[in-house]
Structure formats: structure tokens, C-alpha cells
Amino acid sequence: MADPLIYVRAVHFAATLAAAGAVLFLVLIAEPAFGGVGEATRITALVRARLRLIVWLGLVVAVISGVAWLFLTAAAMSGRPLAQVFAQGVLWTVLAQTNFGRDWLVRLVLAGLLAAAFAPSLSAPRIKSVGVKTALVILAAALAGTLAWAGHAAGGVGREAIVHPSADVLHLVAAAAWVGALVPLALLLNACAQDNSVLAIARIATLRFSTLGIVSVGTLLVTGVINSWYLAGSIAALLGSDYGRLLLAKIALFLGMVAIAAVNRLRLTPRIVQDAQPAAQQALRQLRRNAVVEACAGALVIMIVGVLGTLPPASHAQHHAAYGAVPADAAFVHIHSEQGMADVTIEPGRAGTAHAIIRLWNADFDTLASREVTLTLTAPAAGSKPISRVARQTPDESWRVDGIELSQPGNWTVVVSAVLGPAKRLVLDAPIVIEPQ
């Protein structure tokens, strides 16, 4: 837990989900509840002010932590100290020529657009325009969903390259709509608990949040199963790796939150909606406490997510252990498909002369027999001519290519073509980052 990237990732995820969740809550829950009772001015003004504060604080912290994440990632990719990430265009290389950098730029633009769309609400008593509401919902969902390309979901090929990121996007949007909206819900319920005359606001908000929660939890369950399948792959991997055990802890916390949500939905929400005022107020206070407990559990889940992003997925742990750690100065990419997998290690992973080691695996992480392997590398510059070399097999059943001239740093394309049989060929491709010399 000494890696500062863990904490930066956790803070960034928390700030993003908080900002997006507050926007979604304000537009989809709070405004309809306020409008449904004819605008109780004092309470609605108080809640709106607090929700706006969450949005702005969340966006500011998300941008600051995003900058820190970018610098830490650039330092890790280049092997340079933080103070030197501007040297030799390292930061620009990461921004312009890596998936993480491009996603970072997109998310920075989204944060700016969300801030610009939300700014007019500071001087307006309520958000009336349907167009503005639609834009806010879309931008908030996009800001949360694009976190998917900063994690493991960005590494697949073939069908996985579509299914896994799509599931992760929906997973993050659902998390923002539910977990990110728990603190806003608690704030609204707390304000309503102080004034019996606005109990109707709490009733409308609770019903709308309950409906949104059901959709969000269902989405989280389905997409969570998909993500776990790709990232864990087996029960043995879940139980036998740090990644798997942390993922199980995350699942346990999520199930606990679902249990509390079930109590809220089946017991407390009907009492708030149907019972007379004293009993309804008591149920409201219990629901508020439960929302705070769920939010705390959600914070623990986000902390676990911060750690998981720095670990190799459980599904990859077994074959990594087979040949030891990747050298510190090497560039590495794991490419996988339904037909087979390849690990490509280029050492040193920077511009200049290097050699490549290729290891082929089947779905059970056993060595995949091949008759011939060809490695093709293409530089990031437009019009670059691919470097294609036939690899030679080594005694440990890996394949090696020596004397590769890497002309420039950046996000190269690597293609592994393996002849497996008379009419069977495996072709895998992926980006790989080559650092400045």
C-alpha cells in the first residue's frame, strides 16, 4: 500500500463518481421532487446549494488527482523521477501516443464541458431547460464511464475488446448513479427530516431513487459478472492471487450494500410513502442512516478499486509466475483472444537497439505449440514501414528476435503471427509503449 498511485487512483475515482452522482441525483431525483411539491424554498435552496458544492468540489479534485495520476503514470512508463517527466517529451508521448493519455485528454475535456454546462445553475433557482438537463446527464455519465479506458478493460482484443469495455462503462455509470448519489440522498433526507412540512419531497425523492437504484444494482450485477469473468477467469485464480482476493472483498462489500438497499426498498420506502407522519419520519431517519452506511461501504469499494488497478488481473497471474517478473527496463504487453495468448517483452523498452521475447499460451496457460512465429512492429509516425522479423525458438520454448531497431519513442503497434498447424494461424495485435532513449 506504499504506492502513491493507489491513493491517487482512489481519490480520482471517488471524486469522479461523487461529481457525476451529484449531477445525476440533482437532475433525475431532486429537481422532480422539488417541482412535485411546488418548491419549498428554504429546503430546496439548501439542498441545491449542497449538491452544487459536491459537484464543484468533485470536479476540482478529479482534475487535480487526474494530473497527479498522469504524472505518476508518465514517470512509471519512462522510468524517470517525477521531476523529469517533461524531459525529452515523455509527458507528451504518454498523452499523444498511449491509450491512457488519450483517455486522460478526453476526460479532461468532458470535465470542462460538464463544468460549463453546470455553471449557469449557480445563479438560477432551478434547472428548467430540458436540453440542459439532458446534456448534464450525458456528460456526467460520460465522465464516469470513460474511466473504463484507464483500467484493465482497455487491453483486450477481438470480441473482448468490445464486450469488456462496454460492460465496464455501464458498470461505472451505474456506480455513479447509485453509489455516487448516496451522499446527496442522505443530505436531502436530512434536510427534510428537519421540517415536517416537506415530507412529500422525501417521499418523491425516495421513490425515484429506489427505482434508479434497482436499475443501477441490476446493471452492476450483470456487468460485474462479465468483468470478473475476464479479469479472474476461474475460482482458482480468485482464491490464489492478491487480485482475486481483493476482488472477492469488493464483491462481499457490494453484496452487503445490496442487502442494505433491499431493506431500504422493501421496508423503509413503503413506510415513508404510506405511513402517517411520525412513523414516516422515523423511517426517513433510518433510511438516512442506511444511506450513510452504504456510502462508507462504497468508499471502501473505491479504495479497493484503487489497489486493483495497480495489480495484474488474476487471470494473468498464473502465466506471469511461470517465468518471473518483467525486467524493469522492458516494454511488455499481454495480448489475449479466444484462440490463444501472447506475451511480448521488448528489452530495453526504449528507442534504440533491442531484442524481443515472445511467449505463446493457450486458454489453460500452457505453452502453445507453434511451427513458426513472426513479429511485426510499426512505429507511431504516419506512413512508417513495418519491421517484420521471423523469430527463433529458444530452449525454454519462447521465441526470440534480436537486433530490432526502434527508431522513435511512442505507442508502437506489435503484431504476433504464429503458424500453429497446416491450416491454423494465430494473429494477435496490440499497442506497446516504447520510451525515449
State residue 321's pLDDT score. 47
**Amino acid symbol at 81:** P
Q: Are 347 and 330 in contact (CB under 8 A)?
A: yes
Residues belonging to the chain: 437
Backbone angles phi, psi at 435, to 5 degrees: -85, 165
Which residue carries 475460482 as its cell?
235
Which DSSP state fits 426?
Answer: E
Hey, is 332 helix, strand or coil? Answer: strand
How many of the other CB atoms lie within 10 Å of CB of 42? Answer: 12
Rg (CA), the chain: 25
pLDDT at 129: 82
Q: How far apart are CA 163 and CA 242, in angstroms?
A: 25
CATH class for the domain made up of 4-315: mainly alpha
- Residuewise pLDDT in 10s, the chain (437 residues): 567 888 899 999 999 999 999 999 999 999 988 886 665 567 888 888 999 999 999 999 999 999 998 888 777 665 567 777 776 667 777 787 677 788 899 999 999 999 999 988 766 677 778 888 999 999 999 999 999 887 655 555 556 667 878 898 999 999 999 999 999 999 998 888 766 667 788 888 888 999 999 999 999 999 988 877 777 766 766 676 777 888 889 999 999 999 999 998 888 888 887 766 777 788 888 998 999 999 999 999 988 888 887 776 655 555 554 455 677 788 888 877 657 788 899 999 888 999 999 998 876 667 888 889 999 999 887 778 889 999 999 998 899 999 999 988 888 889 999 888 887 888 888 888 888 87
pLDDT at 87: 66
Three cell numbers, residue 299: 468508499
- Give the C-alpha separation, 413 to 375, whole Å: 11
Q: Annotate 1-32 with b (16+ C-beta within 10 A) or e (fewer).
A: eeeebbbbbbbbbbbbbbbbbbbbbbbbbbbe
CB pairs under 8 A, 24+ apart, for 301-304? Answer: 301/179, 301/250, 301/253, 301/254, 301/257, 302/10, 302/13, 302/14, 302/17, 302/179, 303/10, 304/246, 304/249, 304/250, 304/253
What 3-state DSSP class applies to 392?
strand
203: cell is 417521499
Say if residue 348 is preceded by a cis peptide, omega within 30 of 0: yes
CATH 1.20.1630 residue ranges of the chain are: 4-315
Closest CA to 63 of 98, 134, 114: 114
DSSP 331: E
Q: Can you say whether the dihedral through the CA atoms of 360, 364, 369, 372 is positive or negative?
A: negative
Q: Give the helix ranges, DSSP H, for 119-198.
A: 130-145, 160-178, 182-193
pLDDT at position 316 is: 57
The three cell numbers of residue 305 are 478499486
Other C-beta atoms closer than 10 Å to the C-beta of 321 total: 12
Q: Quick count: other Cβ atoms within 10 Å of Cβ 115? A: 16
**How many angstroms separate the CA atoms of 210 and 381, rounded?**
51
C-alpha dihedral over 281, 287, 291, 293, to 10 degrees?
A: 110
The domain 325-434: what is its CATH number?
A: 2.60.40.1930
> Which of 22, 17, 301 is CA-nearest to residue 187?
22
How far does CA 84 lie from the centroid of its chain? 27
- Contact of 85 with 71, CB cutoff 8 Å: yes
Beta bridge partners of 393: 399
Contact in structure between 403 and 412 (CB atoms under 8 Å): no
Q: Where in the chain is the domain with CATH 2.60.40.1930?
A: 325-434
Q: In what order do the strands lie in the sheet with 341-347?
A: 331-336, 341-347, 352-361, 399-406, 392-393
